[in-house]
Structure formats: structure tokens, C-alpha cells
Structure 1
Amino acid sequence: MTVDAESRRAHRAAAARSSAVPPSSPGYRRDIDGLRAVAILLVVVYHVWIGRVSGGVDVFLMISAFFLTRSFARRLDAGRPLAVGTFLLSRFRRLMPAAAVVLAAALGACWLLLPESAWPQLWKEGWASLGYVQNWVLGFDGVDYYAHDSGLASPLQHFWSLSVQGQVFVLWPVLFLLGALLVRWTRKSAASVMAVLFGLVFAGSLAFSVWETAEQQTFAYFDTRARLWEFAAGSLLALALPYVRVPRVLRAVLGWLGLVGLVVCGMVIDVRGGFPGYLALWPIVSAALVIVAGTRPADEHPELGDLGPGRFLATRPVLALGRDAYALYLVHWPILILWLTVRERPHASFLDGLAIIGLSLILARLVTVLVERPLRLPGGERGRPWRNVGVIALCVALVAAVLAPWQVATTVNAEIQKAAFAAQYTGAAGGDTAGDGKDVPLIPVPGAGDRERWSRLDEPCTGRFASDIADVQESCSQTKNAATAKQLVVVIGDSHANQFSGALRPVADERGWGVVMLMRPWCSLETHEEGTDLSNYCDDWQRDATDLVVSMHPDALFTIVTAASPDSPDERLIDGVNETVDRFLSEGIRVVGVRDNPRSAVDNRYECAIEGHPCNFPVEQALAAENPAAPLADRIGLVDFTPWICPNGLCLTEMGHVAVYLDTNHLSFPFVKTLAPALDQQLGDFLKP
């Protein structure tokens, strides 16, 4: 290459870089720090007193991407290395100390204050919060974020947003690395390349968010994919802001409009039912308007003053709150939930709220002064990697020092006791043991794995039992002898059909039957009203699973045929059961119809048993006086476990040192196994050749 060619190439590169430099260099924005303060205050007030979601967290997510993008964009503009590894270490060094201290303290308080039945979920969420995957745990567990009474909400639940943020802090540098490659390849400015990338993320994620929110809103709330557009919005704003020119008066109008919109967001729109779909545009746009309003063009005279909310947001009291915003978000939720738990209240009163907020402000200040500030790197510096790694390792060690001994000691001790008292676990055959032999630990023990809590078959369906339809195949399992047994029974339905298969399996083993199970949560064989959530979720699966059962030609079908109403005698025959029975009988498949068990909408009956305060209840409060499936008795084999679940008309939470329930409505596997003799008795000669 000649000297002239090299000179021309250098000149073009310099010109490309200069074209990417914004008209005015962005400086420190006190009003944005104030905006963060307003957002966290809204989060706290809405959580404590209003019981709704404010949209403040969405603003937090957007602002974090705004600052992150400005930092990386300046490096791209200057042609400096992005140093992604160093950035990630410095960023997590910045985030983890305060989070780790609060997480460890919250876990310690939960250990002391919450019942043993809550511990396994706390262990899982503690590790997930430490690893920045709490949002996925909550999403897959089907946690309802909005039911924030102390009986349902986790003191660690708010770590979901930190997890999403941590995942984006890993993803965004990857996008900038891609952007850097495209800048070199296309010779376009960094701002234009990154605007295209973030625009694609914004459009794709928002479309996905709207779809998933409509289909499965509870999961969408925690889904990182449905949140990426909020971060992309902050990034696009950071790239566009240096080029924005808005008249002074219009800026003021937009700013106040945005601030008021942010404050009233949670009261005006259905955040509970619509986030994070298109409704989340409300807080994002509101925050963007406030940020735009605080952008003063370089040629505007400072003496003109600020008519917008920027002056208010930059006042000392607001900035003082913003200084502790991160710590305040961390501490307020566990304080709220533990306070409500100790005082046994579903919601905070006005005075309770004042105390909770006051204590949260004090602890947030202490966390900021004693933990966050001493470990914070000076602005713009990323620190030495080995020091950053050391700080991160100490944070992990702190949380693990609480979680690991708690979890291991509890689990090992429970297993030792369970083995020692194995002969005393008689379940339905042992009668009511409440108040008798309380030195015998109940099973399943807190923290027991799924195989100790739920009935499971041996292996996934194969051969003629397998399905090409993914949803059906995922729900299908079988015993090892299913293909070779002389007689085959298929269990089909929801989790209640699954639970009662725990009684069927010992009978099947004794009689030499093979068993196949097709189970999907919430999907019994009931007919659903078209267009409802259950119809959308279950109908296709029901049709395809039923077709698969018919193709198997089993000797019998085992399913639930009634639906109990929580805390009510309004038990009913499930809709469409007659048509379902007719279809299987017409195919020569005999049907075993099982009556549902009593349910509750309020009492977690496992917690009642574990805490030694059985919430036993009369059967007439939970089931109909007569079995609604009785008219089917001349056509199907009818099974009713009620006399064993509710002996002498009283439904028990503990029998034979076994917890009858797992939660409000599911029976525990150790108990259901002890119902096998009752099932064998009721089946009698059923299925005999």
C-alpha cells in the first residue's frame, strides 16, 4: 500500500469518527439522578400502601441502559477498546456488594422468622438471586408478583429486576462488540450502527412482549426477552439525545407531562394485567420526556432558567433520596414482607407503612455509607481486574455462608430423622396423629425433592406410546413394563390426576398392569369456554392427548371426573365428562373416574401440619353431600377416597405422621401411596379378564 493510500485511509477513518461525535458532549445530569429517586419512591409507596405496581422499575431498567450506552458509545466514537471483560467485572463489583449484604441479611431473617415450609423456596430463590437468574425461577414457578400479602410473596421476589438487569449488562456489551465490527466493515458512524441494532432489539422484543403478555402475562412479567425493549428504549434515547433540539417552552411542557404521567401510571392503567406489553410504554415514554426536557442545547443561555421539572429533580432532598435509590430498592421489600409476616397482616396500615418506609430509609443509608460507597470505583474507572474479582468472590462467599449451612443442615437432619422413624409413617392407615409423637418429623420434609412430593413414572414415553406432538410427548411418561404388560392403564388429566396415580402405581405393580400417564397442569378433561386462558392452553393438548390414548387401545383410562370448589360444598361434575366417557367406552376402553379431593383457597394445609397447628375441617364445608359423579356409576368404575381423606367426616392435615396435603389443594405423594389399599378395595375385580 502506498503512503498516499494509507493517508487517504486514515483520513476517511478520522472523518467517520468525527461524524459520530455528537454536537455537544453529554455531561453529568443531576435531573436524571432525581428521576431515579422519584422512580424508587413510587416503587416503595405503591408496594407499601397501594398494593399495585407503579412502573418505577421499568424506569430503572431504561435509565440503566441509557447510562450504559453513553459509556460504550463514547468509547466507540473515540476508537478506544471496549474492554468488555474489564467492564463486566467492574459493573458486577459495583452491583454485588449492597445486593449481597441485603440478600444475606434477608435470608438470615427468613431463617429466624418464616416457617420451615417456606425454606426450600427461599433456598432456591437465594441461589437464583445470587446468580442473577431469579426472574427465570419466579417465571417458571408461576409466582404471582401482584399477590404481595405475606402468605404468598417471597421476601426475595424483588431480585427479579436485578437479575434481568444483570443479564442485560452481559448482553449489551456483546451488541457493542458486534456494532464495532459493523462500524469497521460499513464505515458508518457508531451512532447510526448502534441505532439500527438497538432499533431491531426494540421492535422484536416489544412485539414479543405484547404477544407473550396476552398469552401468559405472569410469565411475561419476569421474562428477560419481554423486557429487552425497555433497555433498548434507553439506549436509543442515549444515542439520539445529543441531536435533539426542542424549544425551551415545549421542553418544559413535555417534562411536566412526563413526570405527572409517571406518578399516576400505576393508578391509571392496569399494570397488573398488562405489563410488560404495550402498556409499559407509558412509564418508558414518561421517563424519556423528562430526560429530553432536561437537555439544554449548547447555544441556549443558562440565565433563561429551567421551566421544566429538572430544577425540582435536582434539588438536594430529591438528590439525597437518589443517592440511596439502589439500596432503598434492595431493603424495602424484605422489610415489608417480613413485617407483614410477623404482624400476621395481609396489608400495611398507614402507620405500619410509615414505620416500614422510615426503617427502609435508615437501612438504605447505612448500606450506601458502609457498603456501597467504600467499594465504589471513582467515576469512569474500571479498577484492577483482580481486585474486582476479589470483591465479587467475597460477595458470593457472604451469601453462601448463610445459605449453605442452613440448607445442608436442615436437609441432612430431616433425612436422618425420617430414616429413624420410617416404621411410624403409616399415613391413611395410621389415623389422626395430631399432638401425638411430635418428635416424629412429618413427611414429606421441607425441602424434599419432587420425587418425594409427587408421583412419577419410570421413563418418558417411547414406541407406540410416544407422540410426534411436542406438548403431548413432554407430558407423557410410562412404567418400564408398559409395552409388555398384559393390561395397560392410562392416567390422563391435570395435577390432581397425577397425584392420585400415586395410589394406582402400587395396585398396578401388584396386578401386573403397565401404566402410561399424560399429565399437563391445569388441563383435566373438562370442556372449557372458547377463548378463555384455559381453552387456549389446554384444548389442543386435550384433543391430541385423547387421540393418542385411543391409538394406544389401553384396557382402562384413569382420570378425575369431579371438580371441588375451594372452601365450598359446590362440587360439580366436570363439564363434558359424559361425552368424554362415551368416546372411550365406544372404543372399548373402560373408565375409572376418581372424585376430586377437598381444596382451599386460603389455608396452606402443609404449613398447618408442619407448624403443628392442624387446620382440620368438616367434609361438608369442602365437598358436596353426594358424589356428583354417582350417576356415572353404572357406566364406569367410580373411585372415592373421601372416607380415607376425611375419616368420620373430618378432613385432616396429618395422618400417621404424614402430611396429607402439599399446599392448598394437592395431596402429598407419601400420603397418596397409603391410599393404595383403598383403591384396590374399590376396584375389586375391575379389569380382570
Structure 2
Amino acid sequence: MVSAFFLTASFVRRVETQRPLALGSFWLRRFRRLLPAAAVTIVGVLGVALAAYPQTEWPRVWREAWASLFYVENWTLALSEVDYYARESVTPSPFQHFWSLSVQGQVFILWPLIIAAVWVVLRRRRRMIVPALTVVFGAIFIASLGFSVVETMRAQSFAYFDTRTRLWEFAAGSLVALALPHVRVRPAIGAILGWIGIVGIVMCGIVLDVQGGFPGYLALWPVICTALVIIAGRDRPRGGPSMILESAPLRYVSRDAYALYLVHWPVLVTWMMLSGRTEPGWLAGIGIVLLSFVLARLVSMLVEQPIRDSAVLDRSHRLGALVLAASVLIVSAPLGAWQLTIEQREAALRASDSGGYPGAAQIDTPIDLSGADLPLIPLATALDEEWVDLKGSCAGELEPVEPVLQGSCAQTANAADSDAWRVLVMGDSHAQQLMSPLTVLADQQGWGIVALLKGGCAIGIGAPTWSAAGPPCEEWRAAAIEYATRVQPDAVYLVVTRATPAAREVLVEGIREIADELTANGIQVIAVRDNPRFDFDMYECALEESEIAPGADTASCDVPDPGFAVGEDLDDLATAEGVTAVDFRPWLCPEGVCRGSIGNIAVYIDDNHISDSYGRTLAPMLQEMLEVGGPLGAEAR
């Protein structure tokens, strides 16, 4: 709001004094002030992350460093909030505070364009420009606030970072700038309004549920309070808050305000990473504050102020542009080199023909891996590539006609071949990962695979849902079953049980009725048992153990298999005609103990999803179970 207030007031003065708008010069000066200090901060965080952050955090650091550099961090965070597959982390991102700078950067591009458009239309009627701007920014205020209220109620975590839900706050600053020359208040009233605004801003963070209710209508509180402070500060009434805001201590601190904003959050997050704690006590808190002030003074003194106040850069647009280019380069060069180095390492590891990664085969035919000096796979930086992906979207006769299934259907290239044996995989992210061995067999046998997948939506009747985005699970599940009966695959691959970290395993609600419906339509059912779930990140545990003892399976990560609840049994479901049970548990939890790594391969990529790398080693076991159960018939074999 404050930034829009100053920006609008500056351009209005140019219009009123008939000076050129000079948008190029404005953007150059503004980003010349903002980007260099931000770039130095980003580079500093990259260095600390390389030295001290877990490798599992590196991909997020890379992704958000790029986003912060180019002022799109808010959209990166917004999309990750609704991405079911985004890797969860105990600690926030060291670049999370760049979301607001990103929104500001976008508005610093948009607002001058809006003002320039109004100027172009009314340049021959200059007296109409300010009233027209009032109408335009008033319309933005109303539209954006309404949108913000609706989206906050519907998807608050996304709305918090959405530029569109924040535009009204900038518009409020612009409206105050346009109205302020015409506002007159008595000094005593101005002083009271100023103090109400100051107290309101402070109390906002204490009283309001910022995490659960912002931005929405709750953000009107700090916006209105800020407007009161601005109005009161116009004439600096005696007894008003200006006596404190203009005091020497606050002015001393304010010279480093931008740099302090840049560095304080990475300092806090790094402390959280190193300590393993989420809340600092008094001693740690004081240390974080003091270190933040020291770093802010250095960034401000050595980077921000010299570049901002340089008369040479003011006179030469070319030199100013070179400063921006250099700022981008000092981030992109080391960041790109770091990513390239890790990618080359991953590629070399994938291309190696080492026998040191038996995976599930280690259970049935153990080999000695104690002397193998090989890293655990998948590498910590390659976990995003471990999600099973069929690559192609469903097309032709396999394209869903049900609207709720749009975007959730994928297929292999040969799935449309009428001569190929076709298997339909339906369900949530566990069905997705547990189809990994199926994809190996499909490649070997020439089968086609179609997958209907929606994170958090297991196939069942009344089953719990963990999906926060897209159509409701019940609608999606019903449409998926309709799709199966319409397409008539040779077999449907379903996860039919549900495991949880805190309870014994049970059959998914309504799975018997679904299996009966499918088999009644002549469709074989491959009933797959769910993999175990844990209350900690199994991959990180396995990685830590592998670094201590390369080649050894991770005994300290062992968790006893809780097994089925009383009265629940997969075998009972498999007695039905046309249903075959698939249970990978002997190779996930050999001898009743679930392991973090087996055969030098991490079994999981987080606390509940198996890795594609390990899943592919389960292909021979799946083939044996299918041959014994005979769900695909002689043709498939």
C-alpha cells in the first residue's frame, strides 16, 4: 500500500507539472535500487544452502532462487500450496519472504502502464486524468477485494500469494495518494487518527488469524490503519505518531529497512534448519535479530546505498542497465553451475551399469553390498523425477468424456492399440507409485496402460479424501468407475487397502462393491495392497544412514509392520471370481520389518510414497503374482 502511495503520487506530480512520464527511466531506477541487494542476498542464501542445508532441500532452493530473482516467487509458492505432489518440508523456504517483493515488482510494472494508458487517452484533457485514475483504481479496488474475499474462502493458501488478491491493497494506496491533497483534518483529530493507525497495525498481528484468514476482508484492518497513519503524517500534528516515527533511532534503523527485510528471514530459516527447531527461545531470538541487523548494515552500506545514490548511474541509462544485468548474472551463474553439476552427476549415475543396486532382488537373492562405495539412489536432488509418469495424455477413444476427469487421465503410447492388452490404473498417488512395476512389465510384454489419477482420492465408496484441489473426490471416483465400464480395459489395477502410520491396515470402504461391479462387466481386478506409511520422512532417514554406512541397509529406520486390523484380510477379497491379490509387503517389509532402503535403493521418497527406482525392481515379483493368479489370461503371458 505504501509503495503504491508513493508511486502514484510521483506520477501524478509529473502529470500535473507536464513532465514526461519516462517509464523506462522509472523502471530502471526502481529495479536498480531493488535488484542488486536482492541478488546479493540470494547468492548468500545459495552459499549457505550448499554448505549447510540437507540435499533434499536443494531443488526447492534452486527453484525459488530463480523465482525470487525474476519476481515470480509468489506464484511459485501459490502453486506449491495446491500441488499435491509438492514435497513437504518441516521448515519454510529461505526465499518465502520474496513473495511480497515479487508482487511489488509486478505492480511496479503494471501501475505505470495503467497510469500511462489513462494519460494517453486524456492527454489533451489533463484535468480529467486524476479523476479518471480515481475511477480506475477504485474499480481495481472493488474488483480485487471482491475476488480476494471469494478466493480466500475457497482456497486461502493459494489466495495468500495470488497477485490478483493483493491488487486492491495497492489500489488503496493509490486512492489515498489521489485523495490526500484534498483531505483536511484538524491537528488534534489527525494526531488521534495517527495513533489509532499505529496501534491498529501493531494489534493486527496479535489479534487476527493472518495464516487462516488473509488476505480477504481481514486485510482491510491494516490497510485502513495505514491510511490513517498517512493522513495523520501529512501535516505532522503535534502529539501525533510522527514524533516517534521521525525520531533519530527509528530513522537510523530505517536506512537499512530494505536490507533488513531481505536478510532477516533467511537468517531465521537457517537457524531452524541447523537447530532442528521451529521456534527460537529468547537467547536464539536475540542472536537472530542482532545477526540480521549486522548483515543488513553490510548489504545496505556496501550494495544498496552506493548503487541507489550513484550520480553516474543516474545520468547513464546504459550503466544502469548493466547493473541490472550484472545482478542477474551474479545469481544465475553460480546457480546454473550448481544445478548443472548435480544434473551431470545424476546422469552419470543413471548411465552406469553397476550391479550394486539390486533393490527388491536383495531380499530373495542377497549379495554383499558392504564394500560398494555407491550413493543411495535416487539422489536427494532427483526425488521430483521419482513420480511415475506415463508421459502421454489420454486421446481418441481413451479421452474421458466426463468433465471431472479432464486433466487426470494419462496413457502409454500403445494403449490405443486395439491389439494390445490394456490395463487401467485408477486411484490416488499410491496407485500411481505402485504401478511402477506394472510399467516395467508393460514395456516388456507390449501391454498398454491407462491411468486415472487424482492425488488424495483412493477408489472407494465414502473413503477419506486428502485432496484440496480440483473436483470433489466422490464425483471424481464415480466418474472414474463409469469411465472403466465404458472403455472396457482387460484389467483394472486398484489399491484396495489403506495403511496409516497410527493404525492397522483396513480394506478401502466400498471396495468390494466396486470390484463386483467391475468383474460383472467382464473386467479383471488386480487388487493391490497399500504400502506402509510412516510418521517421519523415511527417505531422509535412509539417506542419513547411507552416508554413515554406504551399501548397508538402514537398520535404524526399521519400523515393524502393523499388519491388518482384526477382521480385515486381502485374501478374502481375492476369493471373488476375477479378482487377484498383489501384495508387495514381503519386499517392502521383509520378515515383518519395514525398511528405508533395500538393495542400496531408497524404498520411499517421503513418508508414504515408494520410489519409482525401487518400484521398478518389484516387476519380477509382480509378474510372478499375476502368473499365479492368472488375472490377465494366457494372452497376456
The normalised TM-score by structure 1 is 0.83
Aligned to 1:670: 613
Aligned to 1:680: 623
Q: Counterpart amino acid of 2:479? A: D
SS of the residue 1:427 aligns to: coil
1:189 aligns with 2:128: yes
Question: Relative to structure 1, is the Cα distance of residues 499 and 316 closer, same or farther in structure 2, using a 3 angstrom cutoff?
Answer: same
- Residue among 429, 435, 448 paired with 1:514: 448
Separation in structure 2 between the aligned mates of residue 519 and residue 682 of structure 1, nearest angstrom: 24
1:624-659 deviations in whole A, cap 9, x for unaligned?
Answer: 588654542223322221111111222111122211
1:364-396 deviations in whole A, cap 9, x for unaligned?
Answer: 1111111111111479x9542211111111111
Aligned to 2:596: 653
Contact 1:90 1:383 in 2 (8 A): no
Question: Relative to structure 1, is the Cα distance of residues 634 and 656 closer, same or farther in structure 2, using a 3 angstrom cutoff?
Answer: same
252-261 vs 578-587, which deviates more? 578-587
The offset of 1:414, in angstroms, is 3.4
Contact 2:561 2:589 in 1 (8 A): no
Separation in structure 1 between the aligned mates of residue 513 and residue 91 of structure 2, nearest angstrom: 38
Contact 2:356 2:372 in 1 (8 A): no
Aligned to 1:480: 413
- Residue among 467, 475, 478 paired with 1:543: 478
Matches within 5 A, 1:405-420: 405-420=337-352
Contact 1:417 1:440 in 2 (8 A): no
Separation in structure 1 between the aligned mates of residue 514 and residue 225 of structure 2, nearest angstrom: 53
Separation in structure 1 between the aligned mates of residue 368 and residue 181 of structure 2, nearest angstrom: 71
Aligned to 2:45: 106
SS of the residue 1:522 aligns to: coil
1:25-74 deviations in whole A, cap 9, x for unaligned?
Answer: xxxxxxxxxxxxxxxxxxxxxxxxxxxxxxxxxxxxx1111111111121
Question: Relative to structure 1, is the Cα distance of residues 627 and 447 closer, same or farther in structure 2, using a 3 angstrom cutoff?
Answer: farther
1:238 aligns with 2:183: no
Aligned to 2:561: 620
The offset of 1:324, in angstroms, is 1.3
Question: Relative to structure 1, is the Cα distance of residues 116 and 683 closer, same or farther in structure 2, using a 3 angstrom cutoff?
Answer: same
The offset of 1:186, in angstroms, is 6.5
The offset of 1:422, in angstroms, is 3.5
Aligned to 2:551: none
Aligned to 2:528: 594
Aligned to 2:494: 559
Question: Relative to structure 1, is the Cα distance of residues 512 and 530 closer, same or farther in structure 2, using a 3 angstrom cutoff?
Answer: closer
340-349 vs 230-239, which deviates more? 340-349
1:148-177 deviations in whole A, cap 9, x for unaligned?
Answer: x98332222222221121111111111112
Separation in structure 1 between the aligned mates of residue 342 and residue 487 of structure 2, nearest angstrom: 45
Q: Counterpart amino acid of 1:477? A: A
Question: Relative to structure 1, is the Cα distance of residues 260 and 586 closer, same or farther in structure 2, using a 3 angstrom cutoff?
Answer: farther
The normalised TM-score by structure 2 is 0.89
Question: Relative to structure 1, is the Cα distance of residues 625 and 161 closer, same or farther in structure 2, using a 3 angstrom cutoff?
Answer: farther
Separation in structure 2 between the aligned mates of residue 150 and residue 448 of structure 1, nearest angstrom: 16
Contact 1:418 1:441 in 2 (8 A): no
Separation in structure 2 between the aligned mates of residue 623 and residue 113 of structure 1, nearest angstrom: 41
1:459 aligns with 2:392: yes
Aligned to 1:8: none
Separation in structure 2 between the aligned mates of residue 466 and residue 440 of structure 1, nearest angstrom: 43
The offset of 1:564, in angstroms, is 2.0
Aligned to 2:60: 121
Separation in structure 1 between the aligned mates of residue 81 and residue 291 of structure 2, nearest angstrom: 31
The one of the two structures with greater contact order (alpha-carbon pairs below 8 A, sep at least 6) is 1
Separation in structure 1 between the aligned mates of residue 272 and residue 616 of structure 2, nearest angstrom: 37
Contact 1:660 1:667 in 2 (8 A): yes
509-518 vs 673-682, which deviates more? 509-518
The offset of 1:466, in angstroms, is 0.8
The offset of 1:563, in angstroms, is 2.3
The offset of 1:533, in angstroms, is 5.0
1:633 aligns with 2:545: no
Question: Relative to structure 1, is the Cα distance of residues 259 and 681 closer, same or farther in structure 2, using a 3 angstrom cutoff?
Answer: same
Question: Relative to structure 1, is the Cα distance of residues 624 and 93 closer, same or farther in structure 2, using a 3 angstrom cutoff?
Answer: farther
Percent same amino acid among aligned pairs? 44
Q: Counterpart amino acid of 1:445? A: L
The offset of 1:543, in angstroms, is 3.3
The offset of 1:552, in angstroms, is 0.7
The offset of 1:82, in angstroms, is 1.6
Matches within 5 A, 1:240-389: 240-296=179-235, 305-377=237-309, 383-389=315-321
Separation in structure 2 between the aligned mates of residue 342 and residue 486 of structure 1, nearest angstrom: 53
Contact 1:528 1:535 in 2 (8 A): no
Aligned to 1:55: none
- Residue among 585, 592, 595 paired with 1:642: 585
1:523 aligns with 2:457: yes
Q: Counterpart amino acid of 1:430? A: Q
Separation in structure 2 between the aligned mates of residue 362 and residue 121 of structure 1, nearest angstrom: 27
1:398-432 deviations in whole A, cap 9, x for unaligned?
Answer: 11232122222222133324433533222111249
Aligned to 1:19: none
Matches within 5 A, 1:32-181: 62-142=1-81, 151-181=90-120
Q: Counterpart amino acid of 1:102? A: T
Count of matched residue pairs: 614
Q: Counterpart amino acid of 1:332? A: H
RMSD (Å), alpha carbons: 2.8
Contact 1:568 1:623 in 2 (8 A): no
1:535-555 deviations in whole A, cap 9, x for unaligned?
Answer: 964333333333322221112
Q: Counterpart amino acid of 1:223? A: D
SS of the residue 2:381 aligns to: coil
Separation in structure 2 between the aligned mates of residue 623 and residue 100 of structure 1, nearest angstrom: 54
SS of the residue 1:491 aligns to: strand
Contact 2:456 2:465 in 1 (8 A): no
Aligned to 1:423: 355
Separation in structure 1 between the aligned mates of residue 531 and residue 439 of structure 2, nearest angstrom: 18
SS of the residue 1:557 aligns to: strand
Question: Relative to structure 1, is the Cα distance of residues 387 and 440 closer, same or farther in structure 2, using a 3 angstrom cutoff?
Answer: same
Q: Counterpart amino acid of 2:610? A: L
Question: Relative to structure 1, is the Cα distance of residues 576 and 285 closer, same or farther in structure 2, using a 3 angstrom cutoff?
Answer: farther
Separation in structure 2 between the aligned mates of residue 167 and residue 469 of structure 1, nearest angstrom: 38
Separation in structure 2 between the aligned mates of residue 213 and residue 495 of structure 1, nearest angstrom: 27
The offset of 1:510, in angstroms, is 3.7
The offset of 1:260, in angstroms, is 1.6
Contact 2:491 2:631 in 1 (8 A): no
SS of the residue 2:424 aligns to: strand
- Residue among 362, 370, 391 paired with 1:436: 370
SS of the residue 1:575 aligns to: coil
